[in-house]
Amino acid sequence: MTQISKAQAFREASFGFLTQTLARVFDSKMRAELKKAGIDHRVFANLMMLSEEDGINQRQLGKALKFPEYSVSRNLDIMVSLGLAERRPDPDSRRAFLVYLTDSGRETAQRLPEIITRINDEVLEGLDAQERQQVIGLLRRVMKPGLENMS
Amino acid sequence: MTQISKAQAFREASFGFLTQTLARVFDSKMRAELKKAGIDHRVFANLMMLSEEDGINQRQLGKALKFPEYSVSRNLDIMVSLGLAERRPDPDSRRAFLVYLTDSGRETAQRLPEIITRINDEVLEGLDAQERQQVIGLLRRVMKPGLENMS
DNA sequence: CACCAATACTTGCAAATGTAAGTTATGTAA
DNA sequence: TTACATAACTTACATTTGCAAGTATTGGTG
């Protein structure tokens, strides 16, 4: 029986620690791959989300991705300047915008799944197919409860 | 049967997306709690890691947490300036330092588990005890393979 | 031992991020 | 109908980060 200190057991058993650490790995790999593909790494999460659902406002976009709203605001500025997305006035509220992908944004978004899949496969190499399904299913459940939004 | 677009199924099935999103949630909650506790949020990961194991060099510290080495370097500057850690020369190599917590660092580190546990419980509220064990176990396995280190 | 590559760590600079405060528009309730 | 809180979004400023290039030391190879 190998000796494991309390602290070690604790850190390795922290869900937050684990997700932060793995998120760093995913992020740095994504940056490198997106650079190769000529896609701006700053916008990939929003791009992916909008390709799933457009015509939502910035708040909703931020909530889905757990991004603070100032971050959505800035990322959208970038996407608009790159011609990937556009803000249209919300007919129901003059203070909100509805966000839509442009054709170019949609085309760019289509190139993402291949990259994301490849990197996920790299990161998940230690798990078999069933375990991958399992961990993904559990993480999705963690997301569900709403997890009150960011600042 | 509710209609789910391919894109949605895809994003929600991306391990990387899920960990990044959940890491953002954990991070923002940790920041708020650490601020209340008067602990510098920049150093908490290193502090926790070092309370588990000291006397390692900066490379090893970075590798364990998947931090790039420049980040370890700067975080240690902060920890040293706050009196939480110290760099001692490595007797085996003049280019390396061995990092140790000070007494103050150790005391501070002792206050972390309570905070981390509380936030993990908040984030994981959607899962029962068994599922928590399960997801943590799987995430640990993902960490294992080495996941070649950062830049 | 002379060379070159790799290791361990640091740093200048540009880019990105968090905080807090701002604007404008809506909802509510006296 | 005015007043006051909240919603949706933006921005100035300071802090933090990533990248790329730097130093110094060590390990190997001919």
* Of the partner residues A49, A132, A151, the one whose CB lies closest to the CB of residue B28: A151
pTM, rounded to two decimals = 0.90
> Using CA atoms, how far apart are residues B138 and B132, in angstroms rounded to an integer?
10
Q: What is the pLDDT of residue A148?
A: 54
Q: Chain A closest CA to B120's CA: distance in Å?
A: 6
- Interchain CB distance below 8 Å, A139 and B18: yes
Residue A49: list chain B partners with CB under 8 A.
Answer: 11
Joined together, the tokens standing for residue B120 give 């993990």
Joined together, the tokens standing for residue B131 give 């599922």
Q: What is the pLDDT of residue B145?
A: 66
Which of B4, B8, B11, B69 should one mutate to test binding to chain A, selecting the residue with the greatest count of A CBs within 10 A? B11
Q: What is the pLDDT of residue A144?
A: 78
Q: What is the pLDDT of residue B1?
A: 44
Q: What is the pLDDT of residue A12?
A: 82
- Interchain CB distance below 8 Å, B14 and A120: yes
Q: pLDDT tens digit string along B33-79?
A: 999 999 999 999 999 999 999 999 999 999 999 999 999 999 999 99
Phi-psi region of B92 (alpha: psi -120 to 50; beta: other; left: phi over 0): alpha
Q: What is the pLDDT of residue A2?
A: 47
Contact B73, B58 (CB under 8 A): yes
Spans of chain A below 70 pLDDT: 1-9, 145-151
Residue with the bigger pLDDT between B146 and B133: it is B133
Partners of A90 in beta bridges: A93
* Minimum-distance nucleotide, CA of A69 to C1': D9
Q: Which residue has the tokens 């994504």?
A: A30
- Interchain CB distance below 8 Å, B124 and A15: yes
Instruction: Provide the 10 A C-beta neighbour count for residue B39.
Output: 20
- Interchain CB distance below 8 Å, B5 and A116: no
Q: What is the pLDDT of residue A11?
A: 80
Contact B38, B61 (CB under 8 A): no
**Which of these, A45, A26, A28, A44, lies nearest to B142 by C-alpha position?**
A26
